[in-house]
């Protein structure tokens, strides 16, 4: 064995096997909007209230509730703490982020004469629909499994002849395997060239060179960043005094980067393999389109609202790159380092994800000038998620049908006014999209805030804490061991609103 030196080589191409898993697909279907500070502090329970820039993202009829033209923006500081548990070993990872999360404006045309249309509103709102900023570290001693099982599973059905370089370099073979055989062949090639797996002619199968009868130390780190920004283009009307209707056209802008590093050490003393370093980089880009329709009915001290959010139709494309490095010794106790770095960017064909629609029922009780209590109940059937083309995603679509369920989510918000000061609190409970909540548990969030009214300028502050728990599977095959991840996400927001 010897150190393989390869020159820089970049080739862009398409292969028929896509890189997405069910959990990846859910990242586009689960929404975690970050809106105005008032919206945040009241748990997002604005379906029957309106009158807030972020409220039109829940019920588009909310724009017609405004009494004045408004524009404003929101900035936030976010702290995310991930605590992982893997084979009784615990790790903590903290991450801080400053962001511009929301901006928007509402313009009103009021009817000062006769007629039943009292008001027409036009609005635009831009806010973070989902933030993908997330880092965590999984570390522990695995007594049962190694990353070699991932590569062995991907080598099934392949022959060693196609994994040899022949007269080509590493980059060329890796590229050709992706074009003609797909993702699995590329994984087998990395391990075969790094001398992690070999071929047994008598048994007609690949086998691992690594030995870990006494277990192996594993360290898995994930760093991700990115966003799903949502743009609401809104029109609303107030019909007579008590009826409000609205419509949104929404566009989405998605960008995600993920960097995964898996490192293994402390194999058995008689193992030829001494360490393994495997890296996967993924970039996802795309756009989406959806629409919303909603209505609000006002009674004396009661508000009722209903809104429908259509499926979001996403068009996406992925890019990946990989790196594998092994440290080994031979029978003469000579050490080797084998680096397989194809320096190839895999560009996958475009694919489409259709997320489930959402139906929201809302009510609010107005306590005169003293305050209010608002409740939203949202239903969303995640089993209706679809990935296309179906021929490439049969397995994921089958998993969606059998594993996911209809969810019922609750939002509660309160606001109490003391002269020019408003005190607010909110609660949010989101049900797991899984029928068996092993992968993702129900999540809860708690919020509070304060608002200051300076006449034509409003200043709102909020603080929200989101608590969630999930079991994270390291790889989709072979090394399928899971780590428990407890996440606490704290978001402090500041909104400045101007009336004109």
Per-residue pLDDT tens for 422-463? 999 999 999 999 988 678 899 999 999 999 999 999 999 999
* DSSP 8-state code for residue 165: -
Q: Which two tokens mark 12?
A: 């862009």
Per the rule left: phi > 0, alpha: psi between -120 and 50, beta: everything else, 172 is alpha
pLDDT of residue 493: 97
Q: What pLDDT score does 166 carry?
A: 84
Low-confidence ranges of the chain (pLDDT < 70): 1-20, 437
Diameter over CA atoms, the chain: 98
Rounded Cα distance, 94 and 96, in Å = 7
SS3 content of the chain, % helix, strand, coil (to 5): 15, 55, 30
Query: How confident is the model over 123-155, as pLDDT tens digits?
Result: 999 999 999 999 999 999 999 999 999 999 999
So what's the pLDDT on residue 113? Answer: 72
In this prediction, residue 19 carries a pLDDT of 54
Task: Give me the pLDDT at residue 332, please.
Answer: 85
Cis before 83? omega within 30: no
Q: How many residues does the chain have?
A: 500
Tell me if 441 sits within 8 A of 468, measured CB to CB: yes
Token readout for 26 is 């859910």
Q: What are phi and psi of 359, to 5 degrees?
A: -120, 125
Angle formed by the axes of helices 148-155 and 183-193, to 10°?
120
Partner residues linked to 461 by β-bridges: 450, 494
User: Which residues make Cβ contacts (< 8 Å) with residue 172, sequence separation at least 6?
Assistant: 9
Number of helices (H) and strands (E), helices first, in the chain?
6, 23
Return the closest-CA partner of residue 475 out of 171, 138, 169, 49: 138
For 386, half-sphere exposure in the C-beta direction (CA atoms, 13 angstrom radius) is 10
Q: 185: which DSSP letter?
A: H
């Amino acid at each position: 064995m010897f150190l393989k030196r390869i020159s820089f080589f970049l080739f862009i191409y398409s292969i028929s096997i896509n890189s997405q898993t069910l959990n990846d697909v859910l990242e586009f279907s689960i929404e975690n909007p970050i809106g105005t500070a008032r919206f945040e502090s009241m748990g997002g329970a604005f379906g029957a209230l309106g009158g807030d820039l972020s409220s039109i993202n829940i019920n588009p009829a909310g724009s017609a509730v405004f009494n004045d033209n408004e524009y404003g923006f929101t900035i936030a500081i976010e702290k995310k703490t991930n605590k992982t548990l893997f084979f009784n070993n615990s790790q903590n990872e903290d991450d801080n982020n400053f962001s511009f999360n929301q901006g928007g404006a509402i313009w009103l045309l009021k009817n000062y004469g006769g007629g039943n249309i009292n008001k027409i509103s036009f609005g635009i709102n831009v806010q973070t629909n989902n933030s993908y900023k997330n880092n965590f570290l999984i570390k522990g001693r695995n007594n049962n499994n190694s990353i070699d099982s991932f590569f062995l599973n991907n080598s099934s059905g392949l022959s060693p002849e196609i994994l040899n370089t022949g007269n080509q370099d590493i980059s060329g073979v890796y590229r050709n395997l992706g074009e003609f055989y797909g993702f699995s062949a590329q994984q087998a090639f990395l391990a075969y060239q790094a001398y992690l797996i070999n071929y047994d002619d008598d048994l007609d199968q690949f086998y691992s060179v690594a030995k870990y009868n006494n277990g192996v130390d594993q360290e898995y780190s994930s760093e991700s960043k990115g966003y799903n920004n949502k743009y609401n283009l809104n029109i609303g009307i107030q019909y007579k005094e008590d009826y409000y209707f609205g419509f949104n056209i929404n566009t989405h802008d998605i960008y995600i980067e993920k960097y995964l590093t898996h490192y293994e050490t402390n194999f058995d003393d008689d193992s030829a393999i001494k360490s393994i370093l495997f890296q996967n980089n993924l970039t996802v880009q795309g756009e989406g389109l959806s629409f919303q329709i909603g209505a609000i009915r006002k009674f004396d001290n009661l508000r009722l609202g209903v809104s429908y959010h259509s499926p979001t139709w996403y068009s996406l494309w992925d890019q990946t790159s990989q790196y594998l490095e092994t440290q080994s010794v031979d029978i003469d106790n000579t050490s080797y380092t084998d680096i397989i770095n194809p320096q190839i960017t895999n560009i996958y064909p475009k694919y489409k994800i259709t997320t489930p629609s959402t139906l929201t029922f809302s009510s609010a009780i107005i306590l005169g000038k003293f305050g209010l209590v608002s409740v939203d109940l949202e239903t969303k059937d995640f089993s209706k998620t679809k990935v296309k083309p179906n021929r490439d995603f049969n397995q994921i679509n089958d998993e969606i049908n059998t594993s996911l369920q209809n969810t019922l989510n609750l939002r509660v918000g309160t606001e109490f006014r003391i002269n020019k000061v408003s005190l607010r609190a909110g609660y949010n409970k989101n049900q797991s999209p899984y029928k068996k909540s092993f992968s993702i548990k129900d999540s809860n969030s708690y919020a509070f805030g304060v608002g200051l009214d300076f006449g034509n300028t409003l200043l709102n502050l909020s603080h929200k804490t989101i608590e969630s728990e999930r079991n994270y599977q390291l790889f989709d095959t072979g090394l399928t061991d899971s780590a428990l991840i407890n996440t606490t996400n704290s978001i402090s927001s500041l909104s400045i609103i101007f009336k004109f």
